[in-house]
Amino acid sequence: MSPAPAEAQQPAKPAAISLREAFRFWLKLGFISFGGPAGQISIMHQELVERRRWISERRFLHALNYCMLLPGPEAQQLATYIGWLMHRTWGGVIAGVLFVLPSLFLLIALSWVYVAFGEVPVVVGLFYGIKPAVTAIVLQAAHRIGSRALKNAWMWGIAAASFVAIFALNVPFPLIVLGAAIIGYFGGRLAPEKFRTGGHGAAQKSFGAAVIDDDTPTPEHARFSSWKLLRLALIGALLWALPMASLTTLFGWEGTLTQMGWFFTKAALLTFGGAYAVLPYVYQGAVGHYGWLTPTQMIDGLALGETTPGPLIMVVAFVGFIGGYVHQVFGPDQAFVAGAVAAMLVTWFTFLPSFLFILAGGPLVESTHNELKFTAPLTAITAAVVGVIVNLACFFAYHVLWPEGFANRLDWPSLLIAIAAAIALLKFKRGVIEVLSGCGLIGVAVHLLR
Cβ contacts of 120 within 8 Å, gap of 6 or more:
none
Nearest to 319 by CA among 107, 98, 75, 105: 107
Q: What is the 3-state secondary structure (H, E, C) of the chain?
A: CCCCCHHHHCCCCCCCCCHHHHHHHHHHHHHHCCCHHHHHHHHHHHHHHHHCCCECHHHHHHHHHHHHHCCCCHHHHHHHHHHHHHHHHHHHHHHHHHHHHHHHHHHHHHHHHHHHHCCCHHHHHHHHHHHHHHHHHHHHHHHHHHHHHCCCHHHHHHHHHHHHHHHCCCCCHHHHHHHHHHHHHHHHHHCHHHCCCCCCCCCCCCCCCCCECCCCCCCHHHCCCHHHHHHHHHHHHHHHHHHHHHHHHHHCCCCHHHHHHHHHHHHHCCCCCCHHHHHHHHHHHHHHHCCCCCHHHHHHHHHHHHCCCCCHHHHHHHHHHHHHHHHCCCCHHHHHHHHHHHHHHHHHHHHHHHHHHHHHHHHHHHCCCCCCCCCHHHHHHHHHHHHHHHHHHHHHHHHHHCCCCCCCCCCHHHHHHHHHHHHHHHCCCCCHHHHHHHHHHHHHHHHHHC
The structural domains of the chain, with segments of one domain joined by +, span: 103-203+242-449
Please list the residues that pair with 368 across neighbouring strands: none
Distance of CA 408 to the CA centre of its chain: 35
What is the signed CA dihedral for 56, 58, 63, 65, rounded to 10 degrees? 150
Cα 306 to chain centroid distance, Å, stands at 11
Query: CA 46, CA 238: separation in Å to the nearest integer?
Result: 37
Q: Are 384 and 281 in contact (CB under 8 A)?
A: no
* Residue 215: exposure state from Cβ atoms within 10 A (0-12, 13-18, ≥19): exposed
pLDDT, one tens digit for every residue, the chain (450 residues)? 445 454 445 677 888 899 999 999 999 999 888 656 766 887 888 889 888 999 988 888 778 777 877 788 888 999 999 999 999 999 999 999 999 999 999 999 999 999 988 778 888 888 899 889 888 888 887 887 788 778 899 999 999 999 999 888 888 777 888 899 899 889 888 888 888 755 554 455 667 788 888 888 888 888 888 999 999 999 999 999 999 999 999 999 999 999 999 999 998 887 666 666 677 788 889 998 999 999 889 988 888 887 788 888 899 999 999 999 999 889 889 999 999 999 999 999 999 999 999 999 888 877 655 444 456 787 888 788 788 888 878 888 888 899 887 878 899 999 999 999 999 999 998 877 788 889 999 999 998 887
CB 148 within 8 A of CB 352: no
Spatial separation of the C-alpha atoms in residues 107 and 20, rounded to whole Å:
27
What region does 61 belong to: left with phi over 0, alpha with psi -120 to 50, or beta? Answer: alpha
Question: What span, in angstroms and rounded, lies between the C-alpha atoms of 435 and 358?
Answer: 34
Taking the CB of residue 376, how many other CB atoms lie within 10 A of it? 22
Q: 240 with 266: CB under 8 angstroms?
A: no
The answer to whether the beta carbons of residues 314 and 343 sit under 8 Å apart is: no
Torsion sign across C-alpha atoms 230, 231, 235, 241: positive
Residues in contact with 83: Cβ distance below 8 Å, sequence separation at least 6, in sequence order: 22, 26, 91, 92, 93, 94, 95, 96
